[in-house]
């Protein structure tokens, strides 16, 4: 049937637009602002719960890592922090984590995650999107999971875009 991937194709187009905006956020932020936070938090993540933790580089990593997470069929397969060699939540501070996240690596990670998600989505028919997977505890269908993933990404891309404006940098253009 000709239209069995219409929803899939529209999802992919919307994800591609969000990735273009995220790529601009990464490329447009100056190096001296890349791993800067709202405030210095030099105690371990586990002790910083509830504090206003926001670092530009960490937010970029969080967006891409969350897309990778929801691209999986089972939440248990994700190794959080794996791209940067893991995060020792009880020892490492958000400031140290942010400093380990590199722009070039995030651009590469974004490309890898884009390809992984595109391939995953293309493996489904539109009808498959209405089924559940290992994430059914949080989202009742694959479609709901992918829409949530896109909404989550755009929320944080908005934060990054606002930071670019505050830093008086080249802004992200709407895609």
List, run by run, the mean pLDDT of 10-residue segments along the chain (175 residues): 82 97 98 84 75 87 95 88 80 83 96 97 96 88 96 97 95 91
The pLDDT of residue 50: 73
The pLDDT of residue 2: 52
The pLDDT of residue 42: 75
Name the superfamily (CATH) of residues 6-166: dinb family like domain (1.20.120.450)
pTM of the model: 0.90
The pLDDT of residue 152: 97
Report in angstroms the alpha-carbon separations of 116 from 69, 96, 175.
11, 28, 21
Angle at 75 between CA 96 and CA 99, to 5 degrees: 10
Q: 23: number of CA atoms within 13 Å, CB side?
A: 15
- Is 48 in contact with 93 (CB distance < 8 Å)? yes
């Amino acid at each position: 049937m000709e239209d069995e991937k219409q929803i899939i194709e529209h999802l992919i187009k919307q994800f591609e637009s969000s990735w273009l905006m995220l790529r601009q956020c990464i490329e447009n932020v100056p190096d001296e602002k890349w791993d800067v936070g709202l405030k210095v938090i030099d105690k371990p993540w586990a002790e910083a719960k509830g504090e206003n933790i926001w670092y530009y580089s960490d937010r970029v990593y969080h967006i891409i890592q969350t897309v990778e997470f929801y691209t999986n069929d089972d939440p248990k397969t994700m190794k959080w922090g794996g791209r940067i060699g893991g995060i020792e939540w009880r020892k490492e501070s958000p400031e140290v984590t942010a400093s380990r996240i590199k722009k070039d690596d995030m651009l590469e990670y974004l490309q890898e995650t884009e390809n992984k998600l595109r391939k995953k989505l293309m493996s489904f028919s539109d009808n498959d999107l209405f089924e559940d997977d290992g994430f059914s505890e949080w989202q009742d269908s694959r479609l709901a999971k992918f829409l949530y993933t896109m909404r989550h990404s755009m929320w944080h891309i908005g934060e990054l875009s606002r930071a670019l404006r505050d830093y008086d940098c080249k802004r992200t253009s709407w895609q």
